[in-house]
Amino acid sequence: MGKELKITCGVEIHQQLEGRKLFCNCPTIIKDGKPDYVVERKLRAVVGETGEVDVAAAQEARIGKKFIYECFDENVCLVDLDEAPPNELNEDVLNTALQVCKLLDATVVDEVQVMRKAVVDGSNTTGFQRTALVGLNGSLKTSKGVVSIPTIFVEEDSARTIKRSSDEVVYRLDRLGIPLFEISTGPDIHSAEHCAEVVEKIGLLLRSTGKCKRGIGTIRQDINVSVEGGARVEIKGAQDLKLVKSLVELEALRQSNLLDIKAELKLRKVRKSQPVIVDVSDLFRECDGKIVKSALSQGKKVLAIKLSGFAGLLGRELQPNKRLGTEFSNRAKVKAGVGGIFHSDELPAYGISDKEVAAVKDFFKCSDKDAFVLCADEEEKAKVALLAVIERANECLVGVPNEVRDANPDGTSTYLRPMPGSARLYPETDVPPIRISEEWFESVEVPELIEDKVVRFVKLGLSKDLAELIAKSPRAGIFDRFVKSFPKLKPSFIAETLATIERVVRREFKVEISPTEDDFDVLFSNIAEGKVDKSSVVDIFRQNKPVKDVISKFLLLSDSEVERIVKQIVDKNKGVPFNALMGLVMKELRGKASGEKVVKFLKKLVS
């Protein structure tokens, strides 16, 4: 990253839970395929309890998008559609939240009061998200010292985005209402590596409860980053732990570059301004650029502004392949719904010629230090887009704007919306508060941490890698049960089978299996009793049927039957070396006799 940057960082972890939704009885199942029905709506921002309209909510409402909600009968109800009041808060979720509070040494609130958090991007049909504070002032031990955990919330997840365009968004309501934990840290993290460690530790701690969903999208990290002289920027939606380090490093780089631009503008004596938006369509009547040509042919306009002192800065790279001009364009896209903008640092290009660039510069009487920005669209949309560019240009004089950004798969980020204000939170009047008694809290059992399970499993004879694999697996609990139930079996064999059998069968036979606890129970019982050999495990599971229905095909032969088959093979292969005979016999008796017995009878017959 070049120069060393002083980073301050905090994270919010959002973890989905299994079971039923937070305020209704619908299952927390995510479904693909054609929905059973569709609902269309529009939302608007309203005044909050403080008498103000939240700035982020107001921006979304101004865009006036249509929201389309895809629904399934199985996992969407009237509560999800905001056509019925919510049920009481899911008590199972609250119990798990109390476990988390104990694990993080947090103070539990006396009474859980559900609140409404204003959301007008359409991802909640109500126009708000229900959220409830459960714990305060917790702490997490890390390699860099203790990280504070100011708050622990339970809240409902939003609908998932299926498709997005400039004038509508398609959501699916299967995810709406799924319980989430929101765990927030204090600003105690000062490196990208430490941030990744904290995220991983909290994730493992939550999984230790045994109630968390697994897989991509079930846990999301929002990362707050600032550098010295910069500002707090929230990066939302990081789903991959491997991405956390890059997101922090590249946001720090972006802020550092923005501060350099601020310093350069100060040297150029650039001040806050409100450039006039002008119609320059006549300068582009003969333009060959596809976007400009198409816009003008539809009766749209090419509008422009002059940005004094910005020449050379719009093309300045802030993150890999992301320039200041990219930031201006993203702001215009979000606020106006346009396809983008053109700026002088990237022209001539896109079919816009040197002649047209010169004509615009001449029109504005641009000096070598001045830039211009164009937008080709419907006149009103183009005006809103350029007003957004002016707003973003003026923010460059401050350095780093407070804003919410969306995490990209490459570790960069894209403008999403302004930082929400305090006017977005107010009480939920449809859900009664829940009092947490001292007796209730004391009765909550503290689950064993995954990292402690790893240590314990290693003592059972598992390698560290296998111990980590089974400890993080949803089958960690049944592993403990099977180790106790079948002392004749090595714990490492039980763990290996539980943790890897699906992957092995998929890799070797291209068969997808979903074995149950009963399947493993039947298998281990028969192996422990000497009825089935370990070598048959993969063949048994590849049948992709209940183990109890196929196990009889893999029962071991009696000693007399094994000896008879070995003798038969030896008699047919006189003079064949011992190792070759061993191969022939094992091929015939694979899964039907142990290798130890085969060797015993073979030695007896060829000696």
DSSP secondary structure letters along 257-273: HHHHHHHHHHHTT----
Per-residue pLDDT, 314: 98
Intervals of the chain under pLDDT 70: 1-3, 44-51, 53-64, 421-424, 591, 607
Contact 239, 406 (CB under 8 A): no
Q: For residue 440, which amino acid is it? A: W
What are 75-106's pLDDT values in tens digits?
Answer: 999 999 999 999 999 999 999 999 999 999 99
DSSP helix/strand/coil, 304: strand
Contact 252, 5 (CB under 8 A): yes
Tell me how long the chain is: 607
CA 150 to centroid of chain Cα atoms = 22
Per-residue pLDDT, 584: 85
Per-residue pLDDT, 27: 97
| Backbone φ, ψ for residue 449 (5° rounding) | -70, 150
The 3-class secondary structure across 192-244, one letter per residue, is: HHHHHHHHHHHHHHHHCCCCECCCCCCEEEEEEEEECCCCCEEEEEECCHHHH
Kindly tell me the sign of the dihedral angle through the C-alpha atoms of 241, 242, 243, 246.
positive
Q: Which DSSP state fits 592?
A: T
Per-residue pLDDT, 574: 84
Burial 312-336 (b: 16+ CB within 10 A, else e): ebbebebbeebbbbbbbbbbbbbbb
DSSP string of 136-173, one letter each residue: EEEEEEETTEEEEEEEEEEEEPPPEEEEE-SSEEEEET
User: Taking the CB of residue 16, how many other CB atoms lie within 10 A of it?
Assistant: 22
Contact 89, 132 (CB under 8 A): yes
User: Taking the CB of residue 356, how many other CB atoms lie within 10 A of it?
Assistant: 23
Q: Please, which residues bridge with residue 524 across strands?
A: none
Give the separation between CA 451 and CA 472, rounded to whole angstroms: 9
Give the separation between CA 552 and CA 549, rounded to whole angstroms: 7
Per-residue pLDDT, 1: 46
Contact 278, 286 (CB under 8 A): no
Residues of the chain with pLDDT > 90: what percent? 79
What are 213-265's pLDDT values in tens digits?
Answer: 988 889 999 999 999 999 999 999 888 888 999 999 999 999 999 999 999 99
SS percent in the chain: helix, strand, coil, step 5: 40, 20, 35
Contact 498, 520 (CB under 8 A): yes
Q: Which two tokens stand for residue 460?
A: 């059972």
Q: Which two tokens stand for residue 202?
A: 């909290």
Kindly tell me the sign of the dihedral angle through the C-alpha atoms of 210, 215, 218, 224.
positive
DSSP helix/strand/coil, 71: strand
Pairing of strands 107-108, 128-142: antiparallel
Contact 328, 341 (CB under 8 A): yes
DSSP string of 83-131, one letter each residue: SS---S--HHHHHHHHHHHHHTTPEEPSEE-EEEEE--SSSSTTSEEEE
Tell if the pTM clears 0.75, that is, is over it.
Answer: yes
Kindly tell me the sign of the dihedral angle through the C-alpha atoms of 513, 514, 516, 521.
positive
Taking CA atoms, 424 is separated from 6, 156, 262, in Å, by: 31, 16, 31
What are 509-542's pLDDT values in tens digits?
Answer: 999 999 999 999 999 999 999 899 898 999 999 9
Contact 177, 80 (CB under 8 A): yes
Q: Which two tokens stand for residue 214?
A: 């697994």
Give the separation between CA 337 and CA 382, rounded to whole angstroms: 9
Contact 119, 158 (CB under 8 A): yes
Contacts of 208 (CB under 8 A, 6+ apart): 103, 447, 448, 449, 450, 453
Contact 12, 37 (CB under 8 A): no
| Backbone φ, ψ for residue 309 (5° rounding) | 85, 5
* Nearest Cα to Cα of residue 215 among 35, 407, 90, 30: 30
Long-range contact set of residues 575-581: C-beta below 8 Å, sequence gap at least 24? 578/602, 578/606, 581/606
Give the separation between CA 594 and CA 244, rounded to whole angstroms: 49
Give the separation between CA 173 and CA 417, rounded to whole angstroms: 23
Q: Which two tokens stand for residue 415?
A: 């403008």
* Nearest Cα to Cα of residue 500 among 550, 462, 532, 530: 462
